[in-house]
Structure 1
Amino acid sequence: MKRSLNLQRLQNETFDICIIGGGASGTGCALDAALRGLKVALIEKQDFASETSSKSTKLIHGGVRYLEQAFKNFDFAQLKQVRHGLEERQIVLQNAPHLARPLPLLTPVFSWWEGLYFSIGLRMYDFFAKGDALPKSRWLSKKETLLRMPSLDAKKLHSAVLYFDGQLDDARYCLALAHAADEAGVAIVNYTELLDFERDNAGKLTTAVVKPLESDSSFGIKAKIFVNCTGAFADFVRLKANPTLSHRIRPSKGVHVVLPYEVLKSNDAMLIPKTSDGRVVFAIPFEGQLLLGTTDTDYKNLEAEPILEDQEVDFLLDTLAPYLAKRPDKSQVKAGFGGLRPLLAAGDSKSTKKLVRDHEVEHDEHSNLVSLLGGKWTTYRYMAKDTIDKTCELLRLERPCQTANHVLVGGEDYAFEDWKTIQMVYRLAKDISKHLIRKYGSRAHKVARLTQENIRWSQRLVEKYPFIQAEVIYQVREEMALTIRDVLARRMRLEIMDWEAAQEAIQVVADLMAQELGWTPAQKESQVADYYQQIAFFVNTAVK
């Protein structure tokens, strides 16, 4: 991914489609359109997956809660959501096997009746997922449950129901989509902000006026049609295209806490089926830690990044505590993050948890803007298909979607056992070799090969984690990383795993990036100071 070359293309070429937004939906749309033979541009104001798409619960699922609501409330819209989610779940797993994998989940129960209720519900979940490769649900005895998850409170526990969904590294999955789109011919760039639109005499959009982060001047991207994939910020683009439109998005904030793996002591995840605010909460093993979330509250200040706050930490720990033999302590919190869901506004509903996580493709006839509104990670490909179907209709083209079986960057000829080859050829530690294969797939050899260019790049960034210096070099050269946070938050995930370790890595990452990007000493110092301050703010807000 060569950002400078793509910026030149944006200034000098005319495109069929210009996509605004570089999250899962935007990169998904870009890849879909390119595979149909369209000439595509994509701009992202910040980094790929910098908002919602890097801050999910990391699950690929149909939605157990949606299924329950569908039958309780005779709500067939929820049922459609479950069906689409389960259909797409298998595609997400198969198209990036290095970044997505099956995940066993336990639902602990405290009575025979509860066990029966959840067992029947999850059997129905299996029914809607018929035909996929994931194992079916089953009711476990108390003994079986404790063998799988020994941290549970044995005195209260009756049994548990086991079922399967999928898990993904959301930010790197989005990056794989962006990388695949780039290789399919998309002129894709991050850190390029939409300032305004230009129109023809009929009011139809002809040009997006944009400004790259590093430039003091703007330029125009010419396209036949513009597609808005900005998630929780979709109304900003819609109203810029047509100020008479009404707001459609109701952002909802969800937060996650990261705890040590030892809190749950299990490679299985846990579904907590009922909370004080009427949601479900998941406790999920992720990157050697335990990810706990999420919440669901209205969020109105879109100018400020949603972050984990002290009272939200208390809520999540209080939700988990009744299930465990030993209550988790606030001092164990290692990291955390907040994110936004781009929920579609629904009448006078006062509760965001009642809003359907469905999507809608809107076409504004006045400006000709197409907007993809709502949705969730699991159905990103289906959402993109609907959006590009509509776009092709407007362009009067008949070109079918090609993404269902399109393997993403790193998934080609992927074999996890190749970590042994990397270990042997490049003399890297076992945990490092496994990490490289899991995150870069079949491209892991390109990362490892950098250690032969400079032996120091084989060194770890932080002693207790498998990240190495060569990854920073690769991420700058091949994955458009421009800031320290691009590396530590999204391409390596250290920020969301361990705030202390992320702070430890800042200076080394800054030195490597300065070398590759040609930062001046002042630029490097500014990057380091800003990120130290950001991490300190996260820590102080979450754990008071």
Structure 2
Amino acid sequence: MDGQLNAERRGAALDAMSDHEGVDVLVIGGGVTGAGIALDATTRGLRTAVVEMQDWSSGTSSRSSKLVHGGLRYLYQLDFPLVAEALRERSRLLTTIAPHLVRAQPFLWPLRTPVIERAYSAVGVGMYDLLARLGSRGRRKVPMQKHYSKKGALRLFPQMRPDSLTGAIRFYDARVDDSRLVIGLIRTAVAHGALAASRTQVTSLTKGPAGEITGAVLADLETGEERTVRARHVINATGVWTEETETLSDSAAGLEVLASKGAHIVVPKDRIRGETGLFLRTEKSVLFVIPWDRYWIIGTTDTPWTSGRLHPVATAEDIDYILDHANEVLTPALTRDDIIGVWAGLRPLLQPGVKGDGEVASTKVSREHTVVQPVPGLTVIAGGKLTTYREMAVDAVDMALGSRAKSMPSITADLPLVGAEGFTALQARASRLAAERGWTRERMEHLMFRYGTEVSLLLESIDADPSLGEPLPEAEDYLQAEVAFAVTHEGALHLQDIIDHRVRIVTERRDRGIPVLPAIAEIVAPLLGWDRERIDKEIAAATERAEAEMSAESARSDAEAEKARLAAKDLIAIRPLASDG
């Protein structure tokens, strides 16, 4: 499957989407929702374009808890349809859509009381398992719940404090590299004919004589050039920027979205001893302790965010909150010295109802997300979560198509992403491939669960240039071929794109990857045509940003943290937004 994203294809896509023919659908927003919409629309036979003002997944979709889950806590709100929908989508991702990116993950739920809590928790998890089984269509990928005594739970997770539990229940969900999922969706859409351009900002919407939306004016932030795209339908999938994008239509109607900040910390794998993740209920929501290959992710928080939405950052209070709640069950306690990574993201919280006078062309409310058409030609979607991105995409495209939707149904329920087709066969021969290359099992698994069957493309690049088979200097868990692939196939245009969303060093190291920048730059410079001046500029910008984010972590308030973060200027500037000055 050819789904290359690179600088050349980006330029060709901009040319094609702004030609005289126009497009059937223009998607604004390159997070998981927009990427899912682009794939859904193009595979229905619609000429589709998708644009993102930053790098793909730069907003909420790269700063999540990295879970694909049904939402166990929603069962306690008796929202069975929502949980059933999410578990059905979880099954599809695990088995067909992205088995190379989504992996089953066991969690231990510590119980504090021996009888009552175990009884109602067992019923809740039992319902979770039942809904998952019903939604898996006979392709169940995760085991059912299992109960443990206190002694058994401590054998499974030795680092829990004995006084923090009386027993535990093990259940399963799944984890995912959120950015790589988004990039996989975009690349699959491109393979099916979609036109995709990152670093491309919609600056205005064009209108017809009756006020209907007929397209958009785009600013190519890489070159400063402006283009006009004619579109029969424009779909706004911009998450926390939903209202800013809506204002371009000059309509008072639409959706209202507030932002809530969620922060996470990362600690080394050897700092916590446990064979599962942890699911911890807090006074606000839940806290997850999630094992990955070389580290643990712990989060999240849930606090209102009213500052600029481009660069949310974690504060000292956020970090303290996570440490305090994790240390209620962990021993020895985690400290700030254990933390090697921190990030914060904004959740788009959809508010009830519709803005303005409420007179919209049509509205569809589907549990957590809502789709509206405030004016003809413009569809707006907001709410939802990563796990149900595909259902959101179906609803958005259905509304844009109107009466034509029944004759052009979605086909994405069983459509594999790039790297997914033939993944089971790849797993069967993984040991042989590793032996042929002299790789460890860990190296092979790292590559398989990032690239799937596209490992073959990495091998071809290494055969053509053996230096790409060498570990990346200062970051030996990655191969140099992965850096090159980020540019040639995954659409990276800058150093920051690579360390944030492809080779995700920025959240895995205490130094945020600063020492690795020169080596990465030397690999990508010939691929992107950079001279020495450009290399130095890219390194300086990424270094300045990393230092600003580390400085923000010592601030006590959001305002102080944002001030520290904004001390670093963006290499590629976004045109001013209403919420960002």
TM-score > 0.5 by shorter chain: yes
Q: Distance in 2 between matches of 1:58 and 1:125?
A: 20
The alpha carbon displacement at 1:243 in A equals 4.0
Instruction: Identify the residue that residue 172 of structure 1 maps to in structure 2.
Output: 180
Q: Distance in 1 between matches of 2:430 and 2:220?
A: 38
The one-letter code matched in structure 2 to 1:409 is V
The one-letter code matched in structure 1 to 2:386 is W
Task: Deviation per CA, 1:375-417: give whole Å up to 9, x if none.
Answer: 1000000111111111221657621110110011000101324
Instruction: Identify the residue that residue 363 of structure 1 maps to in structure 2.
Output: 373
Alignment of 1:514 onto 2:522: no
Q: Distance in 2 between matches of 1:539 and 1:430?
A: 34
The alpha carbon displacement at 1:237 in A equals 1.1
Q: Which runs of 4+ in 1 moved over 6 A?
A: none
Alignment of 1:7 onto 2:24: no
Q: Distance in 2 between matches of 1:7 and 1:153?
A: 56
Instruction: Identify the residue that residue 103 of structure 1 maps to in structure 2.
Output: 105
Q: Distance in 1 between matches of 2:76 and 2:235?
A: 34
Percent identity of equivalent pairs:
29
Q: Distance in 2 between matches of 1:107 and 1:301?
A: 35
SS class of match (1:466): strand
Alignment of 1:118 onto 2:121: yes
Give yes or no for contact 1:261–1:289 (8 Å, CA) kept in 2: yes
Instruction: Identify the residue that residue 333 of structure 2 maps to in structure 1.
Output: 327
Which range is displaced more, 396-405 or 252-261?
A: 396-405
Q: Distance in 1 between matches of 2:121 and 2:405?
A: 48
Give yes or no for contact 2:377–2:400 (8 Å, CA) kept in 1: no
Which range is displaced more, 170-179 or 456-465?
A: 456-465
The one-letter code matched in structure 1 to 2:407 is E
Relative to structure 1, the CA distance from residue 430 to residue 87 in structure 2 (aligned partners, 3 Å threshold; closer, same or farther) is closer
Q: Distance in 1 between matches of 2:444 and 2:177?
A: 18
Give yes or no for contact 1:426–1:448 (8 Å, CA) kept in 2: no
Q: Distance in 1 between matches of 2:438 and 2:14?
A: 38
The one-letter code matched in structure 1 to 2:123 is I
The one-letter code matched in structure 1 to 2:112 is F
Give yes or no for contact 1:431–1:466 (8 Å, CA) kept in 2: no
State the TM-score, normalizing by the size of structure 1. Answer: 0.93
Alignment of 1:52 onto 2:63: no
Task: Deviation per CA, 1:347-401: give whole Å up to 9, x if none.
Answer: 8xxxxxxxx981011111x352101111100000011111111122165762111
Instruction: Identify the residue that residue 74 of structure 1 maps to in structure 2.
Output: none
SS class of match (1:126): helix
Instruction: Identify the residue that residue 301 of structure 1 maps to in structure 2.
Output: 307
The alpha carbon displacement at 1:172 in A equals 0.4
Q: Distance in 2 between matches of 1:527 and 1:444?
A: 28
Which range is displaced more, 492-501 or 476-485?
A: 492-501
Which range is displaced more, 430-439 or 282-291?
A: 430-439
Instruction: Identify the residue that residue 506 of structure 2 maps to in structure 1.
Output: 495
Give yes or no for contact 2:398–2:405 (8 Å, CA) kept in 1: no
Q: Distance in 1 between matches of 2:163 and 2:146?
A: 22
Relative to structure 1, the CA distance from residue 11 to residue 427 in structure 2 (aligned partners, 3 Å threshold; closer, same or farther) is farther
Give yes or no for contact 1:422–1:445 (8 Å, CA) kept in 2: no
The alpha carbon displacement at 1:533 in A equals 1.3
The alpha carbon displacement at 1:241 in A equals 1.3
The one-letter code matched in structure 1 to 2:350 is L
Instruction: Identify the residue that residue 459 of structure 1 maps to in structure 2.
Output: 470
In structure 2, stretches of 5+ residues that fail to align are 354-365, 556-581
Give yes or no for contact 2:469–2:479 (8 Å, CA) kept in 1: yes
Relative to structure 1, the CA distance from residue 146 to residue 384 in structure 2 (aligned partners, 3 Å threshold; closer, same or farther) is same
Instruction: Identify the residue that residue 36 of structure 2 maps to in structure 1.
Output: 28
Which range is displaced more, 86-95 or 288-297?
A: 86-95
Instruction: Identify the residue that residue 253 of structure 2 maps to in structure 1.
Output: 245
Which range is displaced more, 167-176 or 246-255?
A: 246-255
1:21-100 matches, cutoff 5 A: 21-70=29-78, 78-94=79-95, 95-100=97-102
Give yes or no for contact 2:18–2:228 (8 Å, CA) kept in 1: yes
Instruction: Identify the residue that residue 138 of structure 1 maps to in structure 2.
Output: 146
Alignment of 1:200 onto 2:208: yes
Q: Distance in 2 between matches of 1:382 and 1:535?
A: 36
The one-letter code matched in structure 1 to 2:101 is L
Q: Distance in 2 between matches of 1:396 and 1:107?
A: 43
The alpha carbon displacement at 1:287 in A equals 3.5
> What RMSD in Å do the two structures reach over aligned CA positions?
1.9
Aligned match for 1:162, one of 153, 156, 170: 170
Q: Distance in 2 between matches of 1:469 and 1:248?
A: 44
In structure 1, stretches of 5+ residues that fail to align are 71-77, 348-355
Alignment of 1:191 onto 2:189: no
Q: Distance in 2 between matches of 1:419 and 1:445?
A: 11
Instruction: Identify the residue that residue 73 of structure 1 maps to in structure 2.
Output: none
Give yes or no for contact 2:98–2:417 (8 Å, CA) kept in 1: yes
The one-letter code matched in structure 2 to 1:527 is E
Instruction: Identify the residue that residue 577 of structure 2 maps to in structure 1.
Output: none
SS class of match (1:400): coil
Q: Distance in 1 between matches of 2:325 and 2:245?
A: 38
Q: Distance in 2 between matches of 1:91 and 1:126?
A: 16
Instruction: Identify the residue that residue 484 of structure 1 maps to in structure 2.
Output: 495
Relative to structure 1, the CA distance from residue 499 to residue 330 in structure 2 (aligned partners, 3 Å threshold; closer, same or farther) is closer
The alpha carbon displacement at 1:126 in A equals 1.8
Instruction: Identify the residue that residue 405 of structure 1 maps to in structure 2.
Output: 414
Instruction: Identify the residue that residue 382 of structure 1 maps to in structure 2.
Output: 391
Task: Deviation per CA, 1:462-514: give whole Å up to 9, x if none.
Answer: 45642111111111111110011211111122212224261221111112221
